[in-house]
Amino acid sequence: MERDSHYIGQSSRAATIERFARHVSSGKVDFFRAAGIDFAMGRREGPFLWDVTGDPRLIDCHCNGGVFNLGHRHPEVVRVLLDSLQELDVGNHHLISEQRAALAAKLAELMPGDITYTVFGVSGGEAIDLAIKVARSYTGRPRVISARGGYHGHTGLALAAGDEKYRAPFGPLSPGFAQIPFDDVAALEEALDGETAAVLFETVPATYGMPVPDRGFFPRVRELCDRHGALLIVDEVQTGLGRTGKLWGIEHFGIVPDIIVIGKGLSGGLYPMSATCFRAKYESVFQPDPFIHISTFGGAEVGCPVALKVLELTSDQDLLRNVQEMAALFAEGFRALQERHAEILVGLRQLGMMMGIEMAHEQCGPLFSKVAFEHGLLSVYANNNPRVAQLLPPLIIDRALALEIMDRVDRSLQVIKTIFGGG
């Protein structure tokens, strides 16, 4: 359907890029120029996005790490936001709120075990910060252990729990943080002590290139945390909301963490929303002073119906079945691709549709982003492991589109193989 646009395509691609370089980020423009990705996001619908000029059209296999789990501008989510705007605004974060209460109650129903309380935020980093604050306050201990190569955002405590390269330029490091290898029980055993407030892991570390941990890993982590009186915080900002074929990625491992953090996809791609969800006993942290942690826009009332709709859609059994079926299709397709491109393709790291294309060399990830772009796919490489290209299509894709994605990956790998002299 043709319609007049007030917001997209008002400037040419070149003018947009030039203005962006002058007023937003010259570094990003230099980066994308060097990467050969000449693109400014324009129209977006379902699994697709287009350049501001209308061409090219890309299949979104980045999805901002899960923001677009339901595709772009899912019609039901758009409708809920439009309706919500007729009656609500952000609300007052100091007051009792019907909308925040309804959303938190729904999360309590869907979360594993006795995770029945939620504090809302705007970003994933903010929600991780709060999880660490809860753990430190509850235990009265300072230390936080997280994974080397893991990523939890760029805010204060989340940044401190991430890799040094993201914090090095920004002054003195926060004390009390230690990083250990992921999926390494012995390292955790050694690192845990009576001063440890929390152990913080992504269920599958996305920025580290989607290494899927051994099935026994999280049960052992749970045991060790219990033994040492430390809280287990699981970052489900990317793995939550259906991405892995279950509503929460941690369900694959059969344990209940103390705190689960979600963000990205909870927004429906339309209204920012993150959540720190914790077991009932930790609510005591906020008893003496319930205003000790505040977020003006956290859980903005106008966004709560959007997040509720997202929860309804992503917990739907048909959607989860689709993720499992598409995941099986990708697994099978990649086995064939691996035979054809054995020189360059190491394999597919996969938990449902949380997928990483593992390749042979460090240069492969950046090259894949460029070549995939030329073949109509938006895919980024894992920043903390550039051998891996992230493959995160929307969860709503069908069989035909999954096959089309694999065909484009196939042709991209063929080009990469030629560049590396193998094909």
List residues near ligand PLP by CB under 6 A.
Answer: 65, 123-125, 128, 151-153, 202, 206, 235, 237-238, 263
Q: Where are the alpha helices (DSSP H) in 1-139?
A: 13-23, 26-35, 75-87, 98-110, 124-139
Q: Which is nearer to ligand PLP, 42 or 249 (CB)?
A: 249
CB of 288 to ligand PLP, least distance (A): 28
Q: Which is nearer to ligand PLP, 196 or 274 (CB)?
A: 274
CB of 168 to ligand PLP, least distance (A): 19
CB of 267 to ligand PLP, least distance (A): 9
Q: Which is nearer to ligand PLP, 49 or 380 (CB)?
A: 380
Neighbours of 194 (CB within 10 A): 10
- Residue 343 and residue 414 in contact, taking contact as beta carbons nearer than 8 Å: no
Q: Residue 348: beta bridge partners?
A: 357
d(CA 17, CA 357) in angstroms, rounded, equals 30
d(CA 378, CA 390) in angstroms, rounded, equals 10
CB of 31 to ligand PLP, least distance (A): 17
CB of 208 to ligand PLP, least distance (A): 10
CB of 246 to ligand PLP, least distance (A): 17
- Residue 339 and residue 373 in contact, taking contact as beta carbons nearer than 8 Å: no
- Residue 14 and residue 52 in contact, taking contact as beta carbons nearer than 8 Å: no
Q: Which is nearer to ligand PLP, 125 or 303 (CB)?
A: 125
Counted residue by residue, the chain has a size of 423
Q: Which is nearer to ligand PLP, 263 or 333 (CB)?
A: 263
Per-residue tokens: 52? 């501001």
DSSP character string of 124-189: HHHHHHHHHHHHHHHH---EEEEETT----SSHHHHHHS-HHHHGGGSSPPTTEEEE-TT-HHHHH
CB of 274 to ligand PLP, least distance (A): 6
- Residue 65 and residue 206 in contact, taking contact as beta carbons nearer than 8 Å: yes
Per-residue tokens: 107? 């999360």
Q: Which is nearer to ligand PLP, 206 or 313 (CB)?
A: 206
Cα R_g (the chain), whole angstroms = 21
- Residue 230 and residue 256 in contact, taking contact as beta carbons nearer than 8 Å: no
CB of 236 to ligand PLP, least distance (A): 8
Residues 6+ apart with CB under 8 A from 189: 224
Q: Which is nearer to ligand PLP, 238 or 314 (CB)?
A: 238
The residue sitting closest to ligand PLP, measured at its beta carbon, is 124
d(CA 354, CA 374) in angstroms, rounded, equals 23
Q: Which is nearer to ligand PLP, 221 or 371 (CB)?
A: 221
